[in-house]
Structure 1
Amino acid sequence: MSTALRSDRTARILKEEIDRLQQAGSLFIPKEPGGWWHQYVCPHHHTELVFDDKRVDASEFACPHGCSIEGEAYRGAWLVFKHQSLARVALQAAAVYAALGEASYAQLSKRLLVEYAEQFPLYPVHPEAQSWMLKGRAFHQALTEAIWSTTLIRAYLLLRDKGVVFEAKEQAAIDVFLGLLAGSMEEYRHILIHERNNAENNYTAWLNASLSCVYAARGEQTALEALIEGQGGFKHHLSIGVKADQFEFEGSTYYHVFVLRAYLISAEMAQRFGIDLYAVTGADGQSMRGMLEALADLADDQGVLPALHDGPLARAPYAREIAEIAEQGLAIYGIAGLAPILREAYRQLGAADGEQLEALLYGTDDRTLVSGATRASRLWPDAGFVIGRVAGNPLSFLADFGEHGGSHGHYDKLHLTLMHPAQTLTPDFGMVPYGSPMRKSWFAETAGHNTVSLDGFSQAPHEGRCVRYEAASDGKSVYAWLQTTGAYEGCTMNRHLLLTGEWLLDWFQVELTGEETRSIEWWMHPAAQPQTGTLEERDEIYTLRIQEKDVSAISEQKLPIIGGFTADAGLLRLSYQLGADAEVFHTALAESGDELLAVHTPGDSVDPSQALTAILHRRNGRSADFIHVYRAGSSAEITRVSSQEIVVQVPGQPESASRIQLTEDKGLIFI
């Protein structure tokens, strides 16, 4: 399909969407400012509440499980969605006009823009905003206001580009809006950069993007150039907000996408003055291309981006953001690895053919860029992530050893994500909206990740290290040795991950100093139900102990232990069905005194109320070796030869036996 035909089809679908909203009478701006969208979450099920953009107003808000929720905080959050939805309609109508030339859509876009411009001075600097927030007018947060404003101003610029004329009174209202917006964005940049000394904050990227849009709308090239070059500006933020290995400094995939989207908007505005930011690099080589390539390497085989640290596992607004940056990455840089990510984003939006606003604004029809090339292993030494891939093995792994991540970090060092083309088996389950107490009571905690905790307590915020990373020159294996000494006082943890063409070996060692024995707890959270014939019912409780970070108080959460797995000849054998045709087999070495337990836990962050079954491999003592092996299609066996030596073999294939030794200096080696 040619670009023109595809754009025409997409524009007509987007036009029909607008028509449905007009028929519902919902395209009128609220006179009330929005609140904080993170409070739009059910207090009972902890799922995000339903937003229907066809509704004109709302005082009751529906949970997907049937709850009806009322309250000012929920209404304020609903208003955020409503304002953002109307800004998107303004841009969508402008894009439809640009594509089809139907004047009524230009008029609709212009009406929404002018009404918001006239209303904006009437919104107060938000009196209900929380004390830590930089306050906006139309929203609690100036951050939300910055994002919303870029959508409106891009609509305004698109209309102007297509020859739409604003009358003197309309233009005067828009000029007032731009002036007030610029004043607040400049003030908050000063606070962040100079008073709080926090220029690297993701806020800064969005304040820059909003101001870039203002300066583009006003034709102020000198102001834009100063913004690009100055402290906290585009070039400086790229140097301090992104690490040298191209990952956003907080180690969060969501905030990586978030900041990258702001950068791309700034670059779009600079391009209007003939300034090319698309090829700009930071002090250590950081670039938008590099950030996009990092995402292409990070995604699983289906194109799903992992929810590292804070960020949603899946939600429609996030999928639209991913689509926006992926479309630009394909069109501007030709990064073929973004194609699966784009397909997955559109799948989540129910638009498999990509008939979305992002495709109309940024898309290219050169879908020949889609390739099935095998991706290599990759180490992000600064951000602290490692991915292992070996040709011929459908299993791959992603592990986290880097910095805590500040306010968006999790207590999850040495977390392991195990991936298969059919489905990621042990994902990081993401983060609920921040208004849910489960943000701190489960999703950020160590026990909610695939790593080790002690005595029910979470790890301290800290940074681990990669002791050794080696991708074999013949491509037949990849090995990562990850270590942390800061998770608990007097505790050293080493996780050894060895991926071959046949299996993945996970050897997790824990050593404690002192004489006290502790409960050493290895966790695995599969997204698929573990299959086994050896589960014996148990009626016990696991106690998760949550240490408040700024006070001495400890709260507790009780998780039901529903059964104990029985090992056969010292081996636990489990399997996981992934879709109709894929199965992963899991074998664990069970030492004397080990407990292998099935624990009911909250579900993923999309719907925590749908419980999952976690595997808890527990030992009381001062040291522990947790040795597990995974294989796709059929099982692999483990034989312990000595404390530092094992044999991994595929049953019935004696030639497959691999003798592996754990050494002090090199970690795992084949012997």
Structure 2
Amino acid sequence: MMNLKEKADTFSWVGLEVDKLKMELDPFRREEILLPTEPGGWWHQYVCPQHHTELIFDVMEQDAVVFSCPKGCKLEGEPYRGAWLVYRHQAMARYALQSAVVFAADGEEFYSSLARKILVGYAEQFPLYPVHPDAQPWMLSGRAFHQALTEAIWSTTLIRAYLLLVDHGVTFTGEEEVKLQVFFTMLEESMEQYRHILIYEKKNAENNYTAWLNASLACVYAAKGTREKLASLLEGEGGFYHHLSIGVKPDGFEFEGSTYYHIFVLRAYLIAAEMYGRFGVDLYDAKGEQGQSIRGMFQLLAELSGDNGELPAVHDGPYARVPFAREIAEVFEIGIAVYKDPSLQPILANAYRYLYGQELRTGLEAVLYGAGESKELQTSYRVRDSVLLPDSGFAVLRHPGNPLSVLADFGEHGGSHGHFDKLHITIMHRWGEVAPELGMVPYGSVLRKEWYSETASHNTVTIGGRSQAPHTGSCCQFRQEGNATYLWIRSDGAYEGAVLERHLVLADGWLLDWFHVEQVTERSQEVDLWFHPTGHLLLPFDPHRVQKDSPAVLGLEAGYGSVEVLSAMKNETDCPLNTEWNIRYDGVSTCREYEVSTSTLLAPGSTMYEIRTPGNAEDPSRLLRGIMLRHKGPSVDFITVYRDGHEPAVLKLVSQVGEPPQIQIATTGQAVVYCLDPKAGLIQEKSRNTEE
């Protein structure tokens, strides 16, 4: 494998990117390096209490006392100062790594000196930090930060910088080396103690913490050259192989069912693999007890991603943020270099598009981990099959002739990072999102529990104005045929006395979503189906159908307090009402304009509410307009068809009284009839040419 000097000399794009990295470091030629002497707090508290957006961090500001919200709020004091310090410490560690990378590629002594000053500075400071007195009771307390987890991540960046310098011939003075060895030894003792508490006292070996404690210790052992201790992290309870076996499902998904924590753990595994590779141990093809592997974790993400490379924010995880995009860039540069898999490139390209506005290899991650002679990445549309993840409880429906796709969630709750969201669907278009999971705000925001984890913020059903109970649903059928993919998922644990069943059919011309709810309790409650599109909602309500006296709010608990009613239309007839509405995406955030048309059968007595809710977790104050369908009765069928373009399908109920429900989907030149059989599921009865 080429070293950085060879890469820069061989590939012109690497040399150009190294020059950009130099420019970012130029201020250190004029300014003294000021490492914060205070330990950091918890980064999740770096969030505006009014707008719930992450506060602005200026990487060039050496000592901040006022912290700004993107909406103009100014905040001072704790917990914002402590959270800002986390960002500052992490930024200085990144500068150390960046300086080491530039030196390795260019050889200029200024950059090795800069990296050394940061490393030795932290080595001097670390012994002065006590175990953090302000850490929350549930945390494993660190020294330099509230959380030992944050400390583990930070330490891997610093030690990677140290090893890169040493690999390229940099020698430290005797005094500097003593300070660094004290630092490494203290890290070693702390991480070993945290690891013992987590695995043997808390009995929580599967936690993502474990992967990071292992990664930090692997870095420490590599820096100290203690090969025998490095070997001890592979086997035994909480070791690499054990964690891979219990922290990752057999289908390749991290056990919490969160794309964010999946990448979080995958990054820790890759750092550990890098350290083991220094001693000739190859973990890139290692296998867990049920076949779990690093390669499989990459393939899982490729399966879940949208056609444009976007990853769904299922369960806890940010909708989008710069540090997360950098983590994706690092992970996928390594994955592409190791596995030579072109199916990973669209995800990497999407990360660079978010970071730099272009789908080209750019920045520190590209220089350090990228491989290949071109900055160009493969971003063209790929034909992929539908996929079922039976162990994790997710399914993705795709059809080569349909730009729409849908991801359905029926699996485990997800523990502390799960949402009350069973039978939720995420709808994507080839060029971007239609109705995504909204992501998760920093945990310091009250909206974490008041909105984003609640059922009402997801595209699924609530009953009685309450969120679902934490539970696991099931997959009754998954059938992929030449002309369509069918998924039948079920839940009987969300609400006592209620069965929820969702039937999804993705065909060439449409996506059919048939949600059936059955209540067997003596007193049936209101059933609400939620739909949260992120585009511009176009509702063709007739003025005489809009209820002017509709309530301003629908409830106060379980996320309902975050929902505002804008208008409502009730079906007061005896027949289902075909209601059509469109969602338009203007291309500002998606780079392409597209439109999705929607037809919904509004059951007799049901009400369609136009609602306004918090936006996605990147900016909750940018409110979204959505739809909520409400029906009161022992059973209800919510039936919706989505189509690409502005021409909606026409929906019609065609069954007779007493017969199983049948609907007809009619589009230009074609009509298809589906019947819902309680035992067999959704059956296509017939199709015909409507022009005959």
User: What range describes the TM-score normalised by the shorter chain of this pair?
Assistant: over 0.9
Q: Note closer, same or farther for the CA distance 1:283–1:545 as it changes in structure 2 (3 Å cut).
A: farther
Q: CA deviation at 1:537?
A: 6.1
Which residue of structure 1 lines up, in the alignment, with residue 493 of structure 2?
486
Q: CA deviation at 1:648?
A: 3.6
For 1:541 and 1:21, the matched residues in 2 are separated by: 55
CA distances 1:230-250 after superposition (whole Å, capped 9, x unpaired):
210111100000000000000
Letter paired with 1:527: T
Letter paired with 2:370: G
Picking from 358, 374, 394, the partner of 1:385 is 394
For 2:66 and 2:450, the matched residues in 1 are separated by: 27
Q: Is the 8 A contact 1:153 1:214 kept in 2?
A: yes
Which residue of structure 2 lines up, in the alignment, with residue 449 of structure 1?
458
For 2:265 and 2:608, the matched residues in 1 are separated by: 42
CA distances 1:354-377 after superposition (whole Å, capped 9, x unpaired):
221111111012668725431111
Which residue of structure 1 lines up, in the alignment, with residue 673 of structure 2?
659
2:410 counterpart of 1:410: no
Q: CA deviation at 1:507?
A: 0.3
Picking from 589, 592, 609, the partner of 2:601 is 589
2:656 counterpart of 1:644: no
Q: CA deviation at 1:221?
A: 1.1
For 1:303 and 1:20, the matched residues in 2 are separated by: 35
SS at 1:181's partner residue? helix
Picking from 431, 447, 465, the partner of 2:440 is 431
Which residue of structure 1 lines up, in the alignment, with residue 349 of structure 2?
343
Higher mean displacement: 38-47 or 297-306: 297-306
For 1:449 and 1:442, the matched residues in 2 are separated by: 10
Q: Note closer, same or farther for the CA distance 1:22–1:615 as it changes in structure 2 (3 Å cut).
A: farther
Q: Is the 8 A contact 2:35 2:89 kept in 1?
A: yes
Higher mean displacement: 642-651 or 616-625: 642-651
- Gap runs ≥5 in structure 1: 548-554
The two structures, once aligned, show a CA RMSD in angstroms of 1.7
Which residue of structure 1 lines up, in the alignment, with residue 449 of structure 2?
440
For 1:558 and 1:34, the matched residues in 2 are separated by: 32
Letter paired with 1:299: S
For 2:570 and 2:373, the matched residues in 1 are separated by: 54
Letter paired with 1:318: F
Letter paired with 1:652: T
Letter paired with 2:578: L
Letter paired with 2:648: S
Which residue of structure 2 lines up, in the alignment, with residue 576 of structure 1?
583
Q: CA deviation at 1:545?
A: 4.8
SS at 1:540's partner residue? coil
- Gap runs ≥5 in structure 2: 1-7, 588-592, 686-692
Q: CA deviation at 1:338?
A: 1.4
Letter paired with 2:598: H
Which residue of structure 2 lines up, in the alignment, with residue 599 of structure 1?
611
Q: CA deviation at 1:650?
A: 3.7
Q: TM-score, normalised by structure 2?
A: 0.93
CA distances 1:253-284 after superposition (whole Å, capped 9, x unpaired):
10000000000000000000000000101000
Which residue of structure 1 lines up, in the alignment, with residue 590 of structure 2?
none
Matches within 5 A, 1:552-631: 557=561, 559-565=563-569, 570-579=577-586, 581-631=593-643
Picking from 215, 226, 236, the partner of 2:221 is 215
Q: CA deviation at 1:173?
A: 0.4
Picking from 525, 539, 558, the partner of 1:532 is 539
For 1:3 and 1:484, the matched residues in 2 are separated by: 57
For 1:2 and 1:541, the matched residues in 2 are separated by: 65
Which residue of structure 1 lines up, in the alignment, with residue 126 of structure 2?
120
CA distances 1:83-128 after superposition (whole Å, capped 9, x unpaired):
0000000000000011111110010001100000010000111001
Q: CA deviation at 1:575?
A: 0.6
For 1:58 and 1:481, the matched residues in 2 are separated by: 53
Q: Is the 8 A contact 1:26 1:56 kept in 2?
A: no
Matches within 5 A, 1:38-57: 38-57=44-63
Which residue of structure 2 lines up, in the alignment, with residue 159 of structure 1?
165
For 1:666 and 1:16, the matched residues in 2 are separated by: 64
Q: CA deviation at 1:296?
A: 0.9
Q: Note closer, same or farther for the CA distance 1:197–1:487 as it changes in structure 2 (3 Å cut).
A: same
For 1:351 and 1:122, the matched residues in 2 are separated by: 42
Q: CA deviation at 1:303?
A: 1.0
Q: CA deviation at 1:350?
A: 1.5
Q: Is the 8 A contact 1:209 1:266 kept in 2?
A: yes
Which residue of structure 1 lines up, in the alignment, with residue 688 of structure 2?
none
Q: CA deviation at 1:543?
A: 3.5
Which residue of structure 1 lines up, in the alignment, with residue 690 of structure 2?
none
Which residue of structure 1 lines up, in the alignment, with residue 467 of structure 2?
458
Count of matched residue positions in the alignment of Structure 1 and Structure 2: 659
Report sequence identity in percent.
52
2:269 counterpart of 1:266: no
Q: Is the 8 A contact 2:308 2:432 kept in 1?
A: yes
For 1:461 and 1:250, the matched residues in 2 are separated by: 13
Q: Is the 8 A contact 1:300 1:419 kept in 2?
A: yes
Q: CA deviation at 1:559?
A: 2.5
Q: Is the 8 A contact 2:488 2:501 kept in 1?
A: yes
Q: Note closer, same or farther for the CA distance 1:71–1:85 as it changes in structure 2 (3 Å cut).
A: same
Picking from 281, 289, 308, the partner of 1:302 is 308
Which residue of structure 2 lines up, in the alignment, with residue 552 of structure 1?
none
Which residue of structure 1 lines up, in the alignment, with residue 249 of structure 2?
243
Q: TM-score, normalised by structure 1?
A: 0.96
Letter paired with 1:637: V
Letter paired with 1:302: N
Which residue of structure 1 lines up, in the alignment, with residue 3 of structure 2?
none
For 1:388 and 1:431, the matched residues in 2 are separated by: 24
Letter paired with 1:346: Y
Q: Is the 8 A contact 2:315 2:414 kept in 1?
A: yes
For 2:510 and 2:50, the matched residues in 1 are separated by: 41
Higher mean displacement: 564-573 or 427-436: 564-573
Picking from 186, 189, 207, the partner of 1:183 is 189
For 1:351 and 1:670, the matched residues in 2 are separated by: 45
Q: Note closer, same or farther for the CA distance 1:26–1:589 as it changes in structure 2 (3 Å cut).
A: farther
Which residue of structure 1 lines up, in the alignment, with residue 298 of structure 2?
292
Q: Is the 8 A contact 1:545 1:556 kept in 2?
A: yes
Which residue of structure 1 lines up, in the alignment, with residue 517 of structure 2?
510
For 1:22 and 1:646, the matched residues in 2 are separated by: 74
